[in-house]
Structure 1
Amino acid sequence: MGSTLHNFFTVVMVAEFIFGNLSNGFIVLTHFIDWVRKRTLSSIGWILLFLAISRMVLILEMLLAWLKYLQYSFSFMAGTEVKVIMLTWVVSNHFSLWLATILSIFYLLKIASFSRPVFLYLKWRVKQVLLTILLGNAIFLLFNLIQVNKHIEEWMYQYERNTTWNSRTSGFQRFSELVLLKMIMFSLTPFMVALFSFILLIVSLWKHCQKMQLNFRGEQDPSTKAHMNALRIMVSFLLLYASYFISFFISLIPMTHQKGLDHMLSLTIGLFYPSGHSFILILGHANLRQACHLVLRQLRCGPKH
C-alpha cells in the first residue's frame, strides 16, 4: 500500500511540475515577447511576468526538496546546501504570495466603484500604491530572511555538536517545524489582504447590480463582466492559497504513519497553488487566452509544407 501511494504521489508531483512550468513559462514567454515588441508592459503585465517567474522558482525548489529527500534525509545535508534551499524557498514563496495579492489589489482598485475619498485617492494612484506595497513588503521579506537565517545558524551549530543519527534527525525536525511556523506567520498577512480585497469586490459587484436593476439595464454589461472575471480569479487564488497553507500544516502535523508519505502529500497539495492558479490566470486574461488559442491552433494544424 505504501509503495502504491508513493508511486501515485510521484506521478502527480511530476505532472504538477510539468503543468506548472508550462503554464508559468507560457506567461513569462508571452509577456517577454510583448515587452520586446512594444518596449513596455502594462502594470498588470509586469505583475504577471514576475509572478510567473517566482512561481517557476518555487516549483523548482519544491521539486529539488523532494529529490533531496529521496537521496537522503535533510538532516544529513550540508549546512550551506540547507541554507541555499531554505532562503531561496523563502524568497520565491514571498513573491509568489505577495505578487498574487498585489494582483488582487489591482483588480479591486481598477474594477470596484466606491465613492469614498480614500478609495478614489488610491484608485487614481494605482501604480504608486502597488509600488509602495511591493517596497514595503521587501522590508517584511528582509526581516523574514534574517529570522530564518538565524534558525539555520543555530541548527548548524547544534548539528556540529551532535554526532548521533537520532539527535541530528530530531534537531532538524525541530528546526524545520520552526521555519514552517515562521512561514505560516509571514504568509497570513498577504492572505488576509487578498481576502479583504475579495470581500470589497463582492460589495462593489452587489452595489453595481443593484444600480443596474434600478436603471433596468442588463446584467451582462462590461463592468459586471469585469467584476465576475476578477472574482473568479480571486476565488481560485484564495482556495489554492488555502490548500498551500494546508500543505504547511501537513508537514507540521503528520497525517499518516509513514513519514515519507506525509512529505509527499504535503508537496503534492502545495504544488496545486503555483501550478493551478497560473493556468486560471491564462484563462482569465484576454491577451493570454488569445495567445494560448493561437498556440493550440498552430499545434493542431501542424507545420505547413
Structure 2
Amino acid sequence: MALDNFYIPSFVESFLIVLMIEICTGVFTNVFIVVVNFHDWLRGQGLNSSDHLVVSLALSNFCFSCINAATIVCAILFSSIFLVDYVFYTLYSIMSYNIFSSSWLSAWLCLFFCVNIISFKHGCMARLKANITTVVPWLIFFSQVFSIVSSLPLIWTITKVFAPNSTNETNRTLRVIGYKINDTYNAFSLLINCFIPFIFVMVTTGRIIASLCAHARHMKQNMDDRGPSLKVHQGAARTMMSLLILYLIFYVVEIGLGFLSMMDPLYWVCFLLIFSFPTLQSIIIMNGNSKLKQTFQKLLKICRKE
C-alpha cells in the first residue's frame, strides 16, 4: 500500500458501508470459531492439532479485520492522524504481520490435512505424520515469530513524501502528503511470507486431489473402503482448493494495487476484495469443519425460532 500522494476521492464514501459490513462479518465469523473451540476446551474436550491451527488462523484473521477497521476509520475520517508517522507505521506493520501470519498458518493447515489423510510409509513425511501433534505447536510459534520479524523491518524502509513548495517559513517544516514503501524489500517479504506458503498450499492440495482420484479408482475396482474415507478426502480437497483459489485471487489483487491510482475506482474495488479475505477464509474453514458447521447451523435454527 504505497501512498505517494494520499488523497481519498469523494466516491469512496459509497464503498464505506460495504467495507464496514465486510469487516464486521469477518470479526463475527472469526470470533465464532474461537468461541466454539474455547467452549469445548472449558468443557474438558481437548483440542487437537487441527483445532489449534484453526483457532490460530481465526485469531490472526480477527486481528486483520480489526486493523482493517482502524485503517479505514483513520484514512477516511481522520486523514491528518493517518499521516502521522507512528500511526501509519504501526498500522502498516500490523497489517503486514497479519497477512504473513495468515499465509503461513493456512500453509500449515493444508500440510496438516495432507499428512493426516495420505498414508506415508517411509521418509520425512512418515516421521512428520508420526510426530504431527508435537510439530504443530512449533509450526504455529515459528509462523508468528517469523511474521513479526519480517514485518518490523518494513517500518525502516518507508520514506515520507512531501508536498512540493510546502516549506513553512516559520518553523521550516514540510507537509507530509504520503509515504513510499521500498519496493525491493516489500517484494522480498511478500515472496518469502506469501509466495512460499502459497506453494505449500498448491503442492499439498495437488497431492490430496491425486490421492482422491487414486482412492476413487481403488473403490471402484475393489468395492470396499480400506483406506481413508472418501468423504474425508473430498471435504479436505474442497477446503484446500477453496483456500488455494482465495489466496490466488488475493495475491493477484495485491499485485494489481501497485499499478493502480487511488483516484481509480478499480483501486477501491481491489480494496473491497482484500478486506473480504478474513471473512471468506473463515467461511471456508467453517464449511470444511464438521464441528463448526453443525454449531453454526444450530445457532441459525435458534435465531430463526426467536
- When residues 67 and 177 of structure 1 are mapped into structure 2, their CA distance, relative to the original with a 3 A threshold, is farther
The equivalent position to 2:201 in structure 1, one of 184, 190, 194, is 194
* Structure 1 CA distance for aligned equivalents of residues 141 and 30 of structure 2: 24
Aligned to 1:243: 249
1:210 maps to 2:214: no
1:107 maps to 2:113: yes
Q: Is the 8 A contact 2:208 2:233 kept in 1?
A: yes
The letter for the 1-side match of 2:293 is: R
* Structure 1 CA distance for aligned equivalents of residues 70 and 268 of structure 2: 13
Deviations along 1:75-134, one digit per CA (max 9) or x if unpaired, are 962111122212211222222221121111111111112434332221111123323433
Task: Extract unaligned runs of 5+ from structure 1.
Answer: none
Identity over the aligned pairs, expressed in percent?
A: 22
Q: Is the 8 A contact 1:283 1:289 kept in 2?
A: yes
C-alpha displacement at 1:179, in angstroms?
Answer: 6.5
1:293 maps to 2:300: no
C-alpha displacement at 1:142, in angstroms?
Answer: 4.3
* Structure 1 CA distance for aligned equivalents of residues 36 and 186 of structure 2: 34
* Structure 2 CA distance for aligned equivalents of residues 96 and 66 of structure 1: 20
Task: Extract unaligned runs of 5+ from structure 2.
Answer: 1-8, 168-172
Q: Is the 8 A contact 1:244 1:271 kept in 2?
A: no
Q: Secondary structure at the match of 1:184?
A: helix
The equivalent position to 1:261 in structure 2, one of 259, 265, 286, is 265
The equivalent position to 1:58 in structure 2, one of 64, 70, 84, is 64
Q: Is the 8 A contact 1:112 1:205 kept in 2?
A: no
- TM-score, normalised on structure 2? 0.83
Cα RMSD after superposing both structures = 3.1
Q: Secondary structure at the match of 2:121?
A: coil
- When residues 207 and 299 of structure 1 are mapped into structure 2, their CA distance, relative to the original with a 3 A threshold, is same
* Structure 2 CA distance for aligned equivalents of residues 9 and 202 of structure 1: 38
C-alpha displacement at 1:263, in angstroms?
Answer: 4.4
C-alpha displacement at 1:215, in angstroms?
Answer: 0.9
Q: Which has the higher helix share?
A: 1
82-91 or 68-77: bigger deviation? 68-77
- When residues 271 and 9 of structure 1 are mapped into structure 2, their CA distance, relative to the original with a 3 A threshold, is same
The equivalent position to 1:277 in structure 2, one of 278, 281, 297, is 281
The equivalent position to 1:224 in structure 2, one of 226, 230, 238, is 230
Q: Is the 8 A contact 2:113 2:236 kept in 1?
A: yes
C-alpha displacement at 1:6, in angstroms?
Answer: 3.4
Q: Is the 8 A contact 2:26 2:62 kept in 1?
A: yes
Aligned to 1:28: 34
Q: Is the 8 A contact 1:30 1:288 kept in 2?
A: yes
- TM-score, normalised on structure 1? 0.83
* Structure 2 CA distance for aligned equivalents of residues 262 and 68 of structure 1: 21
Q: Is the 8 A contact 2:253 2:270 kept in 1?
A: yes
* Structure 2 CA distance for aligned equivalents of residues 138 and 53 of structure 1: 12
